[in-house]
């Protein structure tokens, strides 16, 4: 199995913090967001390669982070603004075209995902399902929040029977997180998905398309999960991790 971290967005909702620094390098709990994610990927004993896709604007900073971290290959998709970006699925396809990752299972994770769950447990469970893909799920607890994510309905065996990206009228609060374990046969379908002119952004759109064609299962992530897209979400995640690290909490987010 290989891993691909998605870090090619422009995080416009977090400006001015992201004017010069990619969101994925903003510190939470005293460490860059990417450090927490890389630690989670390190839990996977079968992981061969870790790749990260970003854009021309943030590539130098993320390449420097990868050099310090070690073991991460960075790909610059060549875009320079929110207007010409490839979209998350387009970025996956971009990396697949440049590498041999399409030949193996692939764990895709957004670079702004923070969670308590063990990826080793997640992948071990996924392996037990036999030639399927899977997505990490989380109960956000409020219908108003569920509107911002992919809403998932499961059968009794945890197979996904419905996947609706950003529903106007959600019926539950069980949503997909951007943590995808993709079987190698399904990785190869990203090209056909895009060739049908399906949406290239929001990686959940691919899972919404895939689940009606191939078996896709949902894994409920235990513990807490943070999707960092707004200043309030960033402050909340920072304070929770600062408490765990024994650091004082703050009323306003700061880079130091």
CATH of the domain at 116: 3.90.550.10
The CA-atom distances, in angstroms, between 48 and each of 72, 104, 192 are 11, 10, 26
- CB-CB contact of 19 with 66 (8 Å): no
Q: What pLDDT was estimated at residue 11?
A: 86
Kindly state the average pLDDT of the residues 235-242.
Answer: 94
Decide if 144 is inside a domain. Answer: no
Other C-beta atoms closer than 10 Å to the C-beta of 238 total 24
Give the percent of the chain with pLDDT over 90: 82
The total number of structural domains in the chain stands at 1
Q: What pLDDT was estimated at residue 81?
A: 87
Decide if 58 is inside a domain. Answer: yes
- CB-CB contact of 173 with 186 (8 Å): no
Q: What pLDDT was estimated at residue 210?
A: 96
> What's the first-to-final CA gap in the chain, in angstroms?
36
- Residues 138-169: pLDDT tens digits? 999 999 889 988 899 999 999 999 998 888 89
- CB-CB contact of 125 with 219 (8 Å): yes
Q: What pLDDT was estimated at residue 248?
A: 94
Find all residues with CB under 8 Å of 214, minimum gap 6, and list them.
Answer: 132, 133, 183, 185, 186, 189
201: confidence class by pLDDT, cuts 50, 70, 90: confident
Q: Give this prediction's pTM.
A: 0.95
103: confidence class by pLDDT, cuts 50, 70, 90: very high
Percent helix, percent strand, percent coil in the chain, to nearest 5? 35, 25, 45
Lookup result for tokens 């998905």: 193
Kindly state the average pLDDT of the residues 62-86.
Answer: 94
Main-chain dihedrals φ then ψ at residue 178, nearest 5 degrees: -85, 60
Range of the domain at 106: 2-139+156-161+176-244
Q: What pLDDT was estimated at residue 243?
A: 93
- Residues 31-50: pLDDT tens digits? 999 999 999 999 998 899 99
Find all residues with CB under 8 Å of 108, minimum gap 6, and list them.
Answer: 3, 4, 6, 92, 178, 179, 180, 182, 203
Q: How far is CA 92 from its chain centroid?
A: 11
Q: Report the SS3 class of residue 173.
A: coil
215: confidence class by pLDDT, cuts 50, 70, 90: very high
Q: What pLDDT was estimated at residue 222?
A: 95
State yes or no: pLDDT of 76 exceeds 90: yes
Decide if 147 is inside a domain. Answer: no
Decide if 145 is inside a domain. Answer: no
DSSP string covering 106-128, please?
Answer: EEEEETTEEE-S-HHHHHHHHHT
Q: What pLDDT was estimated at residue 82?
A: 82
Lowest mean pLDDT among 27-31, 66-70, 168-172, 215-219: 168-172
Decide if 170 is inside a domain. Answer: no
Q: What pLDDT was estimated at residue 38?
A: 96
Find all residues with CB under 8 Å of 230, minimum gap 6, and list them.
Answer: 13, 14
Strand runs labelled E in the chain? 2-6, 27-28, 31-32, 50-54, 72-76, 106-110, 113-115, 133-139, 150-154, 160-165, 174-182, 216-220, 225-227
Distance separating alpha carbons of residues 92 and 79, to the nearest angstrom: 14
Decide if 114 is inside a domain. Answer: yes
Decide if 252 is inside a domain. Answer: no
Decide if 33 is inside a domain. Answer: yes
State yes or no: pLDDT of 202 exceeds 90: no
């Amino acid at each position: 199995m290989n891993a691909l971290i998605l870090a090619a967005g422009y995080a416009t909702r977090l400006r001015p913090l992201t004017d010069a620094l990619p969101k994925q390098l903003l510190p939470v709990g005293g460490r860059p967001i990417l450090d927490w994610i890389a630690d989670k990927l390190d839990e996977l004993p079968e992981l061969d390669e870790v790749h990260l896709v970003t854009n021309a604007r943030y590539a130098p900073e993320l390449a420097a982070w990868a050099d310090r971290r070690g073991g991460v290959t960075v790909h610059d998709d060549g875009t320079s603004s929110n207007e010409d970006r490839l979209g998350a699925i387009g970025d996956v396809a971009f990396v697949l075209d440049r590498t041999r990752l399409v030949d193996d299972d692939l764990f895709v994770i957004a670079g702004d995902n923070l969670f308590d769950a063990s990826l080793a447990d997640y992948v071990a469970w996924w392996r037990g399902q036999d030639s399927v893909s899977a997505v990490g799920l989380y109960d956000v607890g409020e219908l108003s929040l569920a509107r911002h994510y992919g809403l998932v309905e499961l059968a009794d065996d945890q197979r996904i029977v419905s996947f609706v990206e950003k529903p106007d009228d959600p019926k539950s609060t069980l949503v997909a997180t951007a943590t995808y374990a993709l079987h190698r046969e399904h990785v190869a379908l990203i090209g056909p998905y895009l060739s049908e002119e399906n949406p290239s952004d929001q990686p959940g759109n691919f899972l919404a398309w895939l689940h009606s064609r191939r078996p896709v299962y949902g894994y409920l992530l235990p513990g807490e999960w943070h999707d960092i897209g707004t200043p309030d979400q960033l402050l909340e995640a920072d304070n929770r991790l600062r408490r765990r690290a024994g650091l004082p909490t703050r009323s306003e987010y700061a880079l130091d």
